[in-house]
Amino acid sequence: MSSLLEKSPLGVFQAHLAKGELAYQVCLDDNKPFFYPRAYAPVTGSENIEWRVSKGLGTVYTTTAVHYKGEPPLNVAMIDLDEGFRMMSRVEDIDSMQVKIGMRVKFRVYPGNDKQAPYPVFTPVENAK
């Protein structure tokens, strides 16, 4: 990773993922958490922000299944993390059609490869590893 990317919000987020952590930011002016990583807080425009690490537990806020011809449905979900921010992801280790609003989920890192960086996904709490 170049030094510019390492210092960018995306670079910091990816470095946390590489350690198995789900990082998010909090605006210290209004104490509101937010996600996706940014250089400025979305409501206040402030640079007075800090990184924190989520415990990785959340609740499915909304979910849908995307259908591609000849493939099993793909889950897309909005997850409300217990720390107070929402993010888009998917719920794995369960049939896409069985993901339900209100389901408790736990974060894990989907490993990257030479073409894609690691990214966060979720599993039902009952199946969390």
Residues 39 and 71 in one domain: no
Write down the pLDDT at residue 111: 87
User: Do 61 and 121 fall within a single domain?
Assistant: yes
Let me know whether 71 and 127 are in one domain.
yes
Same domain, yes or no: 101 and 42: no
CA quadruple 22, 25, 28, 33: dihedral, nearest 10: -80
Looking at the fold, whether 104 and 41 belong to one and the same domain comes out as no
pLDDT in tens, the chain (129 residues): 445 456 899 999 999 999 999 999 999 999 999 999 999 999 999 999 999 999 999 999 999 999 999 998 999 999 999 999 999 999 999 999 999 999 999 999 998 888 888 999 999 997 544
Q: Are 93 and 106 in contact (CB under 8 A)?
A: no
Residues 45, 68, single domain; the answer is no
pLDDT at 57: 98
Structural domain count, the chain: 2
Tokens 């974060």 belong to residue: 107
The whole-number pLDDT of residue 6 equals: 60
Q: What is the pTM of this model?
A: 0.86
